Structure 1
Amino acid sequence: MDPKKIFTTILIWLPSVIITLFFIPNALDKILHSSEMNKIVSNNAILIITGIFLLIATALFLYNRTIVIGTILLASYMTLIVFIHMYKGKSYEVAILIVMATIFAAYIRSPFTFQQKRNY
């Protein structure tokens, strides 16, 4: 194989791997340690459902055919987290960066998916 092609593939997938390394531990923490969390929603079932939602959304994000759906789900979730952090007076800048990084990672992997189709 061509080393340039391997290096390009690694660089294309690197942002997606970093995003995945954020969302998967977050989801597993919500599923496995839901009773120990001090969140705005204290219901264990809601935290477990949120963790399962994050795992499914991350899987959709990683699969090329469903990258748009996964990106929308992950970005929507993190946008909601941004609003919750604003409401609670917490720092929300990192959450905004995660939303932007999620969209950027999807665009890097599949730029033609995000372009408008033209009818000539």
Structure 2
Amino acid sequence: MVKGKQLVQGQQFVFKCKVATSNSHIDTEALTDSGATGNCISTLFAQRHNLPTFRLKQPLQLRLGDGNFAMAPITHGVLAPISHAEHVSEELFYSVPMTTYDFIFGTSWLEEHNPHID
């Protein structure tokens, strides 16, 4: 259940979560996006916190909300342990250049975890 952990900004649903690194936990916020098929992490956030990345076998084209494709393909991913409330899971994130949020959880995460949003 995400009750008490979220901020509603306009039509956006944002919640607080923690990312585990080798030596600490980082408090951050994540956007849930039912229009995104995958999960994304800010490239800058991953670099700033020395999260290990890996090269994808095949680059992915990122289709934006307006239907257009991003100028550059997604070439790297990050496996990161994420916790919110009492729930902990390791998630695959695609590394993308974004500045508003550190993480975006898409439909793959929503379908797997089915959070109760109150």
Give the alignment's TM-score, normalised by structure 1: 0.24
Query: Which is richer in helix?
Result: 1
Query: Which is richer in strand?
Result: 2
Give the alignment's TM-score, normalised by structure 2: 0.25
Larger RCO (alpha carbons 8 Å, 6+ apart) = 2
